Chains A and B, each alone.
Chain A
Amino acid sequence: MNKYVKQLKEGILDNNPVLVQLLGMCPTLATTTELKNAVGMGLAATAVLVCSNLFISLLRKFIPKQVRIAAYIVIISGFVTAVELLMRAYLYSLYQALGLFIPLIVVNCIILARAEAFASKNKPLPSMVDGLAMGLGFTFALCLLAFVRELLGAGTVFGYQIPGYTPMVVFILPAGAFMTLGFLIATVQKIRSVTAERAKQKQTQGIKPASAAAEAASGEEEKA
């Protein structure tokens, strides 16, 4: 059980798909004008991630290696369409607000990356937990960004007006999206480098796991 808790923490904080792995930028930037949309987008992607990870893990011995990417894409797009159909039936206003970005979950790199890197090599239950962890990490990052943008750009939180505040509209506009995310990731990098430094001071001998992780992260940046 403990293993799954660790997996969840990994996905939400240490290895957050948006803030650390820097994946899935399009929906992150586009759907975070309002907190409500961010929650909706995050949970829709989480649902798809959990289902597709489970399904791909179950079929991992059946799917032929040569056409695995095509098979993953078909499975993922199937679940995305199912989620889209369910949303327009039961969450109609959210469906209207997210618009084209629901079908675009198909090409969200987080989902394909988890299918290839995790679900295709692991048993169904850990794969589901992995999907949940990554999905919640995605949702968390989206909410953080949307909270800042909605608060500064529209002067509201979840649609409730903050009295006596003149909103700075630029945070709602595309330019604000890029910049807010830039500052958010800079903050995360700062926190990570500080914790890595502390860990280094604590254990002066042997392998330093935190700093090794930081090094891995900076390597990923260059790749991205």
Chain B
Amino acid sequence: MEATKNNAVVQSALVGLKLLLICAIIAGVVSFVYALTLEQYEANILETKRQAIGAIFEKDSLDDPKQAAEIDGVVIYEVYENGALIGYCAEVASAGFGGDIEMMIGYQSDGSILGVEFISHSETPGLGSKAGQPAYLEQYVGQSGVLTLGTDVDAVSGATVSSRAVLAGVNAATAALQSVLSGGAVNE
């Protein structure tokens, strides 16, 4: 009786041990892959940002963007070409229809908008995603100050939520940039 009971305990301990071993092996493999791919992933994030900034300023020989400040979730970058400051960029996330829309907004040194580019979004393809196309985003070029939908920019028909999300993001970015510029928080 005692022996069978002991046997059962050994059996279930063995089962647990085997499961633990499988978990350990899998965790080890995943950790290995993680370590292997981390650098490339971080490079990807940087590269998408750099491409967005390059597309806004229509230059591909920009220096690495320099992060200047972060206010209310908006990250402000200074954009340099050959060591000379040519404008600013603001990275902002705004709640769209299918999730956050991450975008990059470029400003000239006087604070007027140079262009808006999507970094990532999950809007409905063919519908909300139209708010990420030039036809809508070009309306922002040259604007400055607080913008309103309907007067300064027209929403994409059928994609009002996405259009509104972009507008909210741009306004938040502009406000953040203004406070940085006026507060002199930008360190050289």
Which residues of A come within 8 Å of B, CB atoms?
33-34, 59, 62-64, 66-67, 70-71, 74-75, 77-78, 81-82, 85-86, 88-90, 92, 96, 99, 153-156, 167, 169, 172-173
- Closest CB in chain B relative to A171 CB, distance in Å: 9
**Inter-chain contacts of A172 with B (CB < 8 A):** 124-127
Which of these, B18, B38, B120, contacts A62 with CB under 8 Å? B18
B148 within 8 A of A: no
- B: which residues have CB within 8 A of A? 14-15, 18-19, 22-23, 26-27, 29-30, 33-34, 37-38, 40-41, 44, 48, 99, 120, 122, 124-127, 158
Q: Which 5 pairs of residues, A with B, have the shortest CB-CB distance?
A: A78-B26, A89-B37, A154-B126, A89-B40, A92-B44
The interface residues of chain A lying within 8 Å CB-to-CB of B124 are 33, 172-173
Contact call B15/A82, Cβ cutoff below 8 A: no
Query: Chain A residues with Cβ under 8 A from B126's Cβ?
Result: 33, 153-156, 167, 169, 172
Known pairs A67-B15, A153-B126; A90 contacts B40 (CB<8 A): yes
Closest CB-CB distance, A145 to chain B, in whole Å?
A: 14
**In the complex, what residue of chain B is closest to A59 when comparing beta carbons?**
B22
CB <8 Å contact, B18 and A169: no
* Minimum Cβ distance to chain B for residue A158 (Å): 13
Instruction: Tell me, rounded to whole Å, the shortest Cβ–Cβ distance linking B36 to chain A.
Output: 8
Residue of A nearest to B98 (CB): A99
Contacts A/B (CB < 8 Å), 19 sampled? A34-B125, A64-B18, A64-B19, A70-B19, A74-B26, A75-B26, A77-B26, A81-B30, A85-B34, A88-B41, A92-B41, A92-B48, A96-B120, A99-B122, A154-B126, A156-B126, A169-B126, A172-B124, A173-B127
Cβ contact within 8 Å between A78 and B125:
no
Given contacts A78-B27, A86-B33, A169-B127, contact A71 B41 (CB under 8 A): no
The residue that A66 contacts in the complex, of B15, B23, B120, with Cβ under 8 A, is B15
Q: Which residue of A lies closest to B32 (CB)?
A: A82
Residues from chain A with Cβ under 8 Å of B26 in the complex: 74-75, 77-78
In the complex, A156→B125 CA distance in Å?
Answer: 11
Which one, A34, A71, A77, contacts B19 given CB within 8 A? Answer: A71
In the complex, given contacts A77-B26, A90-B40, what are 5 additional A-B residue pairs having Cβ atoms less than 8 angstroms apart?
Answer: A67-B15, A92-B48, A153-B126, A156-B126, A172-B124
Quote the shortest CB–CB distance from A72 to chain B (angstroms): 10
B residues near A92, Cβ cutoff 8 Å: 41, 44, 48
Cβ contact of A82, chosen from B33, B99, B127, cutoff 8 A: B33
Complex Cα distance, B44 from A199, in Å, reads: 55
Q: How far is the CA of A134 from the CA of B29 in the complex (A)?
A: 25
A175 CA to B3 CA, complexed, in Å = 62
Complex interface: chain A residues within 8 A of B158 (CB): 169
Question: In the complex, what's the smallest C-beta–C-beta distance from B145 to chain A, in angstroms?
Answer: 32
- Bound-state CA distance A155–B124 (Å) is 14
Measured CB to CB, the closest approach of chain B to A152, in angstroms, equals 11
